[in-house]
Amino acid sequence: MACVKVELSRQNRKAGATLFTMSTITQDMRFKQVVVEYSFRHGATKAAIRYKTTRQNIYRWRKKYDGTIQSLADRSHRPHSHPNQHTESELKLIKDMRRRNPHAGLVVFWVKLCQRGYTRSISGLYRVLRRIDGKPIKLPNPKKESKPYEQMEYPGQRGQIDVKYVPKVCLVGEAAESGGYFQYTFIDEYSRYRILKAYEEHSTYSSTQFLKHVIEKFPYAIECIQTDNGFEFTNRLANSKNPKPTLFESTLAQLGIRHKLIRPYTPKHNGKVERSHRKDNEEFYACHKFYCFGDFEKQLALRQRQYNNFPMRPLNWKSPKHVLFSFPVV
Protein backbone atom coordinates (compact mmCIF):
# COMPACT_ATOMS: atom_id res chain seq x y z
CA MET A 1 0.00 0.00 0.00
CA ALA A 2 2.86 2.35 0.86
CA CYS A 3 4.54 1.62 -2.50
CA VAL A 4 1.34 2.50 -4.36
CA LYS A 5 1.07 5.78 -2.46
CA VAL A 6 4.70 6.65 -3.22
CA GLU A 7 4.22 5.89 -6.93
CA LEU A 8 1.05 7.97 -7.07
CA SER A 9 2.75 10.83 -5.28
CA ARG A 10 5.60 10.81 -7.79
CA GLN A 11 3.24 10.87 -10.75
CA ASN A 12 1.09 13.61 -9.25
CA ARG A 13 4.17 15.64 -8.36
CA LYS A 14 5.40 15.53 -11.97
CA ALA A 15 2.00 16.56 -13.25
CA GLY A 16 1.57 19.34 -10.73
CA ALA A 17 5.04 20.78 -11.13
CA THR A 18 3.99 22.54 -14.31
CA LEU A 19 0.94 24.20 -12.71
CA PHE A 20 2.71 26.69 -10.47
CA THR A 21 5.99 28.54 -10.56
CA MET A 22 8.97 28.04 -8.30
CA SER A 23 8.25 31.34 -6.55
CA THR A 24 5.15 29.77 -4.93
CA ILE A 25 7.12 26.88 -3.45
CA THR A 26 8.57 27.66 -0.06
CA GLN A 27 11.32 25.89 1.86
CA ASP A 28 8.75 24.85 4.46
CA MET A 29 6.64 23.13 1.78
CA ARG A 30 9.67 21.20 0.49
CA PHE A 31 10.50 20.10 4.03
CA LYS A 32 6.96 18.86 4.64
CA GLN A 33 6.98 16.90 1.37
CA VAL A 34 10.27 15.20 2.24
CA VAL A 35 9.00 14.27 5.71
CA VAL A 36 5.68 12.95 4.40
CA GLU A 37 7.25 10.79 1.69
CA TYR A 38 9.81 9.45 4.19
CA SER A 39 6.97 8.55 6.57
CA PHE A 40 5.22 6.58 3.80
CA ARG A 41 8.34 4.44 3.41
CA HIS A 42 9.52 4.11 7.01
CA GLY A 43 6.62 5.11 9.22
CA ALA A 44 5.66 8.27 11.11
CA THR A 45 7.72 7.47 14.22
CA LYS A 46 11.04 7.13 12.38
CA ALA A 47 10.25 10.24 10.31
CA ALA A 48 9.54 12.25 13.45
CA ILE A 49 12.82 11.15 15.02
CA ARG A 50 14.91 11.81 11.93
CA TYR A 51 13.44 15.22 11.06
CA LYS A 52 12.92 16.36 14.67
CA THR A 53 9.18 16.96 14.53
CA THR A 54 6.12 15.34 16.06
CA ARG A 55 4.01 12.48 14.77
CA GLN A 56 0.91 14.66 15.09
CA ASN A 57 2.41 17.10 12.58
CA ILE A 58 3.27 14.29 10.20
CA TYR A 59 -0.25 12.79 10.35
CA ARG A 60 -1.73 16.22 9.71
CA TRP A 61 0.55 16.79 6.70
CA ARG A 62 -0.21 13.30 5.32
CA LYS A 63 -3.92 14.05 5.56
CA LYS A 64 -3.45 17.22 3.49
CA TYR A 65 -0.99 15.69 1.01
CA ASP A 66 -2.48 14.68 -2.35
CA GLY A 67 0.80 14.05 -4.16
CA THR A 68 1.49 17.71 -5.04
CA ILE A 69 3.71 20.04 -3.10
CA GLN A 70 1.09 22.76 -3.41
CA SER A 71 -1.26 20.83 -1.14
CA LEU A 72 1.20 21.35 1.74
CA ALA A 73 0.99 25.14 1.59
CA ASP A 74 -0.21 26.87 4.74
CA ARG A 75 -3.84 27.86 4.55
CA SER A 76 -5.37 30.98 6.00
CA HIS A 77 -6.93 30.59 9.45
CA ARG A 78 -9.16 33.58 8.91
CA PRO A 79 -12.86 32.71 9.35
CA HIS A 80 -15.07 32.83 6.25
CA SER A 81 -17.58 35.00 8.05
CA HIS A 82 -17.71 37.13 11.18
CA PRO A 83 -21.18 37.53 12.64
CA ASN A 84 -20.07 40.42 14.88
CA GLN A 85 -18.26 42.46 12.24
CA HIS A 86 -19.18 46.10 11.68
CA THR A 87 -22.15 46.66 9.41
CA GLU A 88 -22.05 48.92 6.38
CA SER A 89 -24.05 51.59 8.21
CA GLU A 90 -21.58 51.56 11.13
CA LEU A 91 -18.58 51.81 8.80
CA LYS A 92 -20.24 54.71 6.98
CA LEU A 93 -20.85 56.46 10.32
CA ILE A 94 -17.19 55.98 11.34
CA LYS A 95 -15.85 57.30 8.03
CA ASP A 96 -18.18 60.30 8.03
CA MET A 97 -17.30 61.17 11.62
CA ARG A 98 -13.58 60.76 10.97
CA ARG A 99 -13.85 63.10 8.00
CA ARG A 100 -15.52 65.72 10.23
CA ASN A 101 -13.13 65.13 13.17
CA PRO A 102 -9.73 64.33 11.62
CA HIS A 103 -7.76 65.45 14.72
CA ALA A 104 -9.83 63.78 17.45
CA GLY A 105 -8.10 61.15 19.59
CA LEU A 106 -9.40 57.62 19.99
CA VAL A 107 -11.36 58.18 23.24
CA VAL A 108 -12.88 61.50 22.13
CA PHE A 109 -13.80 60.01 18.76
CA TRP A 110 -15.39 56.95 20.40
CA VAL A 111 -17.48 59.16 22.72
CA LYS A 112 -18.72 61.21 19.77
CA LEU A 113 -19.74 57.99 17.98
CA CYS A 114 -21.54 56.66 21.07
CA GLN A 115 -23.56 59.88 21.20
CA ARG A 116 -24.81 58.99 17.71
CA GLY A 117 -25.84 55.43 18.52
CA TYR A 118 -22.55 53.55 18.17
CA THR A 119 -22.59 50.48 20.47
CA ARG A 120 -19.24 48.81 19.81
CA SER A 121 -16.31 48.70 22.22
CA ILE A 122 -13.40 51.10 21.97
CA SER A 123 -11.03 48.23 21.09
CA GLY A 124 -13.29 47.23 18.18
CA LEU A 125 -13.28 50.84 16.98
CA TYR A 126 -9.49 50.89 17.17
CA ARG A 127 -9.22 47.81 14.93
CA VAL A 128 -11.57 49.35 12.37
CA LEU A 129 -9.66 52.63 12.34
CA ARG A 130 -6.41 50.76 11.75
CA ARG A 131 -7.96 48.85 8.87
CA ILE A 132 -9.42 51.91 7.14
CA ASP A 133 -6.37 54.07 7.91
CA GLY A 134 -8.38 56.40 10.10
CA LYS A 135 -5.67 57.45 12.53
CA PRO A 136 -5.95 61.01 13.83
CA ILE A 137 -3.94 63.67 12.06
CA LYS A 138 -1.68 65.30 14.63
CA LEU A 139 -1.42 69.05 14.50
CA PRO A 140 2.01 70.59 15.03
CA ASN A 141 2.61 71.66 18.61
CA PRO A 142 3.33 75.40 18.60
CA LYS A 143 5.39 75.04 21.77
CA LYS A 144 7.81 72.70 20.03
CA GLU A 145 8.41 74.72 16.90
CA SER A 146 12.17 74.92 16.70
CA LYS A 147 13.74 78.20 15.74
CA PRO A 148 16.35 78.15 12.98
CA TYR A 149 19.78 78.05 14.57
CA GLU A 150 21.88 81.13 13.97
CA GLN A 151 24.74 80.26 11.64
CA MET A 152 28.05 82.03 12.16
CA GLU A 153 29.51 83.82 9.15
CA TYR A 154 33.16 84.22 10.15
CA PRO A 155 35.64 82.96 12.78
CA GLY A 156 35.44 84.59 16.16
CA GLN A 157 31.86 85.77 15.74
CA ARG A 158 30.89 83.55 18.68
CA GLY A 159 32.63 80.88 20.69
CA GLN A 160 31.46 78.49 23.38
CA ILE A 161 33.33 77.73 26.59
CA ASP A 162 32.62 74.90 29.00
CA VAL A 163 34.37 72.81 31.65
CA LYS A 164 34.61 69.02 31.71
CA TYR A 165 35.45 66.97 34.79
CA VAL A 166 38.09 64.35 34.04
CA PRO A 167 36.64 60.90 34.97
CA LYS A 168 38.20 59.52 38.13
CA VAL A 169 38.75 56.12 36.50
CA CYS A 170 41.32 57.80 34.23
CA LEU A 171 43.44 58.96 37.18
CA VAL A 172 46.05 56.52 38.48
CA GLY A 173 49.08 56.80 40.72
CA GLU A 174 49.87 60.36 41.75
CA ALA A 175 46.87 61.70 39.81
CA ALA A 176 44.44 59.53 41.78
CA GLU A 177 45.57 61.19 45.03
CA SER A 178 44.88 64.70 43.71
CA GLY A 179 41.61 66.58 43.97
CA GLY A 180 40.81 65.92 40.32
CA TYR A 181 41.60 67.53 36.99
CA PHE A 182 39.48 69.73 34.73
CA GLN A 183 39.41 70.23 30.98
CA TYR A 184 38.54 73.75 29.85
CA THR A 185 37.26 73.86 26.27
CA PHE A 186 36.76 76.68 23.78
CA ILE A 187 35.15 75.96 20.42
CA ASP A 188 34.66 78.43 17.59
CA GLU A 189 31.13 78.04 16.23
CA TYR A 190 32.13 78.88 12.66
CA SER A 191 35.11 76.55 12.17
CA ARG A 192 34.63 74.07 15.09
CA TYR A 193 38.25 74.82 15.99
CA ARG A 194 38.94 73.92 19.62
CA ILE A 195 41.40 75.12 22.25
CA LEU A 196 41.86 72.84 25.27
CA LYS A 197 43.75 73.41 28.50
CA ALA A 198 44.15 71.41 31.69
CA TYR A 199 43.58 72.89 35.15
CA GLU A 200 43.73 71.56 38.67
CA GLU A 201 41.21 74.08 39.93
CA HIS A 202 37.59 74.70 38.94
CA SER A 203 36.95 78.38 39.67
CA THR A 204 36.30 81.76 38.11
CA TYR A 205 40.05 82.43 38.34
CA SER A 206 40.81 79.36 36.19
CA SER A 207 38.09 80.45 33.74
CA THR A 208 39.70 83.89 33.47
CA GLN A 209 43.15 82.43 32.89
CA PHE A 210 41.73 80.14 30.22
CA LEU A 211 39.98 83.10 28.54
CA LYS A 212 43.30 84.94 28.30
CA HIS A 213 44.91 81.79 26.92
CA VAL A 214 42.18 81.52 24.25
CA ILE A 215 42.59 85.17 23.19
CA GLU A 216 46.32 84.62 22.89
CA LYS A 217 46.06 81.42 20.83
CA PHE A 218 43.03 82.13 18.63
CA PRO A 219 44.14 83.93 15.43
CA TYR A 220 40.98 86.08 15.08
CA ALA A 221 39.31 88.65 17.31
CA ILE A 222 36.52 87.16 19.41
CA GLU A 223 33.26 89.12 19.56
CA CYS A 224 31.09 86.93 21.81
CA ILE A 225 31.60 84.15 24.36
CA GLN A 226 28.71 81.84 25.22
CA THR A 227 28.70 79.85 28.47
CA ASP A 228 26.31 78.10 30.81
CA ASN A 229 25.35 79.51 34.22
CA GLY A 230 28.04 77.77 36.25
CA PHE A 231 29.61 79.58 39.19
CA GLU A 232 32.95 79.60 37.36
CA PHE A 233 31.43 81.96 34.80
CA THR A 234 28.65 83.98 36.44
CA ASN A 235 26.76 84.74 39.65
CA ARG A 236 23.49 84.97 37.77
CA LEU A 237 21.86 82.20 39.80
CA ALA A 238 23.38 83.26 43.13
CA ASN A 239 21.02 83.70 46.07
CA SER A 240 21.36 87.48 46.22
CA LYS A 241 19.35 90.40 44.93
CA ASN A 242 22.30 92.19 43.36
CA PRO A 243 24.88 89.57 42.37
CA LYS A 244 28.32 91.00 41.69
CA PRO A 245 30.04 90.21 38.39
CA THR A 246 32.64 87.48 38.57
CA LEU A 247 36.26 87.93 37.61
CA PHE A 248 35.46 86.16 34.33
CA GLU A 249 32.64 88.59 33.51
CA SER A 250 34.74 91.61 34.48
CA THR A 251 37.57 90.44 32.22
CA LEU A 252 35.18 90.02 29.30
CA ALA A 253 33.84 93.53 29.85
CA GLN A 254 37.36 94.97 29.94
CA LEU A 255 38.23 93.21 26.68
CA GLY A 256 35.03 94.37 24.98
CA ILE A 257 33.73 90.84 24.46
CA ARG A 258 30.00 90.21 24.80
CA HIS A 259 29.02 87.48 27.27
CA LYS A 260 25.98 85.42 26.29
CA LEU A 261 24.44 83.10 28.89
CA ILE A 262 22.26 80.17 27.83
CA ARG A 263 18.94 79.32 29.45
CA PRO A 264 19.45 77.67 32.87
CA TYR A 265 19.51 73.85 32.88
CA THR A 266 19.50 73.72 29.07
CA PRO A 267 22.91 72.35 28.01
CA LYS A 268 21.68 71.70 24.45
CA HIS A 269 21.96 75.44 23.83
CA ASN A 270 25.71 74.96 24.20
CA GLY A 271 25.45 72.03 21.83
CA LYS A 272 28.72 72.29 19.94
CA VAL A 273 30.97 72.21 22.99
CA GLU A 274 28.79 69.60 24.71
CA ARG A 275 28.98 67.31 21.68
CA SER A 276 32.74 67.75 21.51
CA HIS A 277 32.91 66.65 25.16
CA ARG A 278 30.90 63.57 24.30
CA LYS A 279 33.40 62.72 21.58
CA ASP A 280 36.19 63.25 24.10
CA ASN A 281 34.57 60.67 26.35
CA GLU A 282 34.27 58.15 23.52
CA GLU A 283 37.62 58.69 21.80
CA PHE A 284 39.95 60.04 24.49
CA TYR A 285 38.97 59.34 28.10
CA ALA A 286 37.67 55.83 27.33
CA CYS A 287 41.18 54.65 26.40
CA HIS A 288 43.63 56.88 28.32
CA LYS A 289 45.09 56.96 31.83
CA PHE A 290 46.88 59.89 33.49
CA TYR A 291 49.63 59.41 36.05
CA CYS A 292 50.17 63.06 36.97
CA PHE A 293 49.04 66.54 35.97
CA GLY A 294 51.95 66.97 33.55
CA ASP A 295 50.99 63.71 31.82
CA PHE A 296 47.39 64.92 31.49
CA GLU A 297 48.57 68.24 29.98
CA LYS A 298 50.68 66.50 27.33
CA GLN A 299 47.98 64.04 26.31
CA LEU A 300 45.32 66.79 26.22
CA ALA A 301 47.52 68.89 23.92
CA LEU A 302 47.84 65.89 21.61
CA ARG A 303 44.05 65.42 21.71
CA GLN A 304 43.56 69.06 20.67
CA ARG A 305 45.90 68.65 17.70
CA GLN A 306 44.18 65.43 16.57
CA TYR A 307 40.68 66.94 16.85
CA ASN A 308 41.52 70.11 14.92
CA ASN A 309 43.09 68.13 12.07
CA PHE A 310 40.27 65.59 11.67
CA PRO A 311 37.78 66.07 8.75
CA MET A 312 34.16 66.63 9.81
CA ARG A 313 30.87 66.17 8.02
CA PRO A 314 29.37 69.58 9.08
CA LEU A 315 32.44 71.21 7.55
CA ASN A 316 31.97 69.41 4.22
CA TRP A 317 34.66 66.88 5.22
CA LYS A 318 37.27 69.52 5.96
CA SER A 319 39.17 69.81 9.22
CA PRO A 320 38.53 72.68 11.68
CA LYS A 321 42.11 73.86 11.21
CA HIS A 322 41.70 73.96 7.43
CA VAL A 323 38.43 75.92 7.66
CA LEU A 324 39.85 78.39 10.18
CA PHE A 325 43.12 79.20 8.45
CA SER A 326 41.67 79.19 4.92
CA PHE A 327 39.19 81.95 5.80
CA PRO A 328 40.15 85.12 3.90
CA VAL A 329 41.62 87.78 6.16
CA VAL A 330 40.05 91.19 5.54
Residues 180 and 276 both lie in one domain = yes
Q: 41: part of which helix (H) or strand (E)?
A: helix 27-42
Q: What is the pLDDT of residues 252-266, one digit of tens each?
A: 999 999 999 999 989
| Pairing mode of beta strands 159-165, 224-227 | parallel
| pLDDT at 20 (0 to 100) | 43
| pLDDT at 144 (0 to 100) | 63
Contact 312/192 with Cβ under 8 angstroms? yes
Average pLDDT, the chain: 88
For residue 225, pLDDT beyond 60: yes
| pLDDT at 194 (0 to 100) | 97
Residues 121 and 234 both lie in one domain = no
| pLDDT at 57 (0 to 100) | 92
Residues 192 and 259 both lie in one domain = yes
| pLDDT at 152 (0 to 100) | 92
- Residue 180 belongs to a domain: yes
Residues 299 and 258 both lie in one domain = yes
Q: What is the pLDDT of residues 272-297, one digit of tens each?
A: 999 999 999 999 999 999 999 999 99
Q: What is the pLDDT of residues 5-41, one digit of tens each?
A: 444 444 444 444 444 444 478 888 999 999 999 999 9
Q: What is the pLDDT of residues 141-195, one digit of tens each?
A: 676 666 777 889 999 999 999 999 999 999 999 999 988 999 999 999 999 999 9
Give the N- to C-terminal CA distance of the chain in Å, as an integer: 100
Task: Encode burial over 85-94: b for 16+ CB neighbours within 10 A, e otherwise.
Answer: ebeeebeebb
Going by C-alpha positions, the residue among 290, 287, 286, 308 that lies closest to residue 299 is 290
| pLDDT at 75 (0 to 100) | 80
Paired strand residues for 260? 226
Q: 164: part of which helix (H) or strand (E)?
A: strand 159-165
| pLDDT at 2 (0 to 100) | 42
| pLDDT at 330 (0 to 100) | 59
Residues 216 and 242 both lie in one domain = yes
What's the number of domains the chain is made of? 3
Q: What is the pLDDT of residues 31-88, one digit of tens each?
A: 999 999 999 999 999 999 999 999 999 999 999 999 888 888 888 888 887 888 899 9
Contact 213/197 with Cβ under 8 angstroms? yes
- Residue 47 belongs to a domain: yes
Domain span at residue 64 reads: 2-72
| pLDDT at 6 (0 to 100) | 42
